[in-house]
Chains A and B, each alone.
Chain A
């Protein structure tokens, strides 16, 4: 029983390249690219490509973008028996306005069908969750749905990973349901009274984060690496050295989480799991895209 289940959202990422318009303005853009997105979906694709036996729990509309999601999962070995279809809602989209010259962006996310995930949907996916060894989720799906799924996982002795992205206020009762809490530095800072940028900061605030009630914490620190700690242990694992090779860091956190969950599923010890995730996420930053930038298992095995 080495299965992984992931709950989250799928949105079609619609990237418009050009200047960013002001209110009332229409800009003639330069380029338009459509691709699969949403943190849960990206993490599922990462896990599928990293070699996990993964099932994704989400909801899409009966439209072209919903078809795009299913096609993506087919190509990346992501199980779709809990990809529900909504009759009333369109598949979610994220309009990403990007100015390549300044690197600035403005984003409008419409969760669509995934925003209409219900507790009943989670009950329908219960078998998948309780038959997993690892359950992973984020904070893009409706909060009551996320919390219900974590409860089911925990009650059935499934190891839980919560990637608290985007950072959002959580009810106190959520934290004890979390075995691995995996914020990046910005998200980690949201949950404490301070700011985390470096490994030293992470060490300084480790106890405050553990005091929230989570069991293990893994803070990703971008190109620096990742810092793991719990009440007994701590370990810092530096990232791959990719000086001058990084082209696009979007989706790197999703790559890390999907790969980390995969490695835990395989029963790897924690330090090895972090190394595996670092390697996987590192390679993804040397390519453009989010879901489309994820490497394959063969590439990772060659590097490790």
Chain B
């Protein structure tokens, strides 16, 4: 190694950054070269002196300002993050709470349930509803008020099969009563009126006509044929009387209120229909139909609205049945109804 190459290594050697093998070479040269050894010794001494030059210190004010800025920034970041979280979490929490409430109401049956009206089908009338002569003693125990007034017209449901005897037909209703409005035999009554689970369905119960609501809940819970009879199986017949009691909305007071609001129900149904909210429209028309007897001037309007709602919901079979009922009940709408029946039947096929 010559002196020039050795001098090139001085700085790295001085600051301890020379690789060990090169450092070894330099040390070997320094052992032999007095000039390089002296030069390096001078640099070491100068370096030691230079290292003694003291650092300047920033003023405490400058340090404090920097620390204050760091804390400010930390606070700001924290508050920004907090705000962001609030912005995200607040609507989320609100949505969860509202969703939970709605789900709870639906599960608990507290929310108003959709009432779907469907016209009755004669062929669906359960065979067990064939009237049999009622035993005299049972008639004696039937609630006189309800029987005499013809207000409690729960369709007779069959007894459990084990009893082996079908229930007697309900007592004939008064001519003015809704169920008996078209003078028909009791056996046909259930067929002409919505009867059976698919007729008036409102989830937890069905909406009875207003005139039936005048029966006391206590009476309604009893079988029409009298006291002492075991509760009827729900599947065997429409549990109307029970529904009256179960559904608080169908208390007599509520029934009167609903009956008084038929025009508003119809308007509501029609506006829902126009807005394309067929579910709500069907519900409104179904509720109105619960209080509209055949022959009522508003009944065709409700039937037509319901049929359209069912059509809108693509429930074409039910819509056809509703149009049939409309055609049967209203001569003014017969042509329209028959045309729609034809169209929908073709569509179903």
A and B pair up: no
**Chain A contact residues, CB within 8 Å of chain B:** none
Which residues of B are interface residues toward A (Cβ below 8 A)?
none
